[in-house]
Amino acid sequence: MRMSLIASSIAVLLAIPLVVNAADEPRFNVVNLEASASQQVSNDLAHAVLFVELSDNDPSKLADKINQTILAAQKTLKQYPSVQSAGTGYSSYPLYNSKNQPQGWRSRGELRINSKDFTALSQLIAALQKPQSTGIALQLADIRYEVSEQSRKQVEDQLIGEGLKAFRERASLIQRGMSGSGWKAINLNVQTQTNSPPPRPMYRMAPAMMEAAAAPAPAPVDAGESRLFVTVNGSIQIGD
C-alpha cells in the first residue's frame, strides 16, 4: 500500500511539467487585427456655466456679494424644474498695483447647470443674465453639448454588435487568404470612444457694456452631433 501511494505521487509530479510545457508551447499562424464601427448621434444633453466676478477691497464683503448673487440665481433656477443644478464654485485672488502692492481682491462665483430641455435652458440662461435680487447679473462662460449616458449606452450596445461582426468578417477574410481550415479568437478587447464638440466660449462683456445693452435674448441652441466609436481588436489563430 505504501509503495502504491509513492507511485501515485510521482505520477502527479511528472504530470505537472507536461502541463506547463503545453502552456508554453509557441503558437503559429497568429494574426493581430482590428475592426471598428461608428455612428453619428444627436447631442441631447447641454451643460452651461454662468458666473459672477467682482472686485473689492474687503474680501468678506466681496464674498458676501458673490454668494448672495449665486443664491439668488439658484432661486431663479428653481423656477425651471426641467433644468438641474450641477453645483457651484468659488475662487478668489489678491490684486496688486504696478508697484506690486496689494490693492484689493478679485473673486468669482460659478453656477453650473445642465438639462435635456434646451428651450427651458435657453430661457433660464437669459433670466440669469438679468440683474438678480442683489442687482447683479451673471455672465455666460460657455455651453457644452453631449450625448446623455442613457442614449450613449443604447448606441454603444448596438455598435458593439456591429464591431464584433466586422471583426469576425475580417478574421474570416484573413483565414481564407491564408488557406486556413478555420480560426479561433485568442483574445479580444472592446473599447468605446466619443468625439463631442468642444465647449463654446461666450464673448465676455465689460460691466459698462452690460449696463448699456438691452436685456439678453434667450441663448441660441445648436446642439450639433457627436460621433460614437466602438473598436474591437485582438488576436486570432488560423488553423492549418
Per-residue pLDDT tens listing for the chain (240 residues): 444 443 443 344 434 444 445 455 667 889 999 999 999 999 999 999 999 999 999 999 999 999 999 999 999 999 999 999 999 999 999 999 988 988 999 999 999 999 999 999 999 999 999 999 999 999 999 999 999 999 999 999 999 999 999 999 999 999 999 999 999 999 999 999 988 777 666 545 444 444 444 455 566 667 899 999 999 999 999 998
Query: Parallel, antiparallel, or unpaired: how do β-strands 30-42 and 102-115 relate?
Result: unpaired
Cell, residue 87: 453645483
Contact residues for 124 (Cβ-Cβ < 8 A; gap 6+):
76, 77, 79, 80, 83, 113
Looking at residue 31, its pLDDT comes to 94
Looking at residue 170, its pLDDT comes to 96
CA 190 to CA 168: how far, in whole Å?
Answer: 13
Domains and CATH numbers, the chain: 26-44+147-197+226-240 (3.30.110.70), 45-146 (3.30.70)
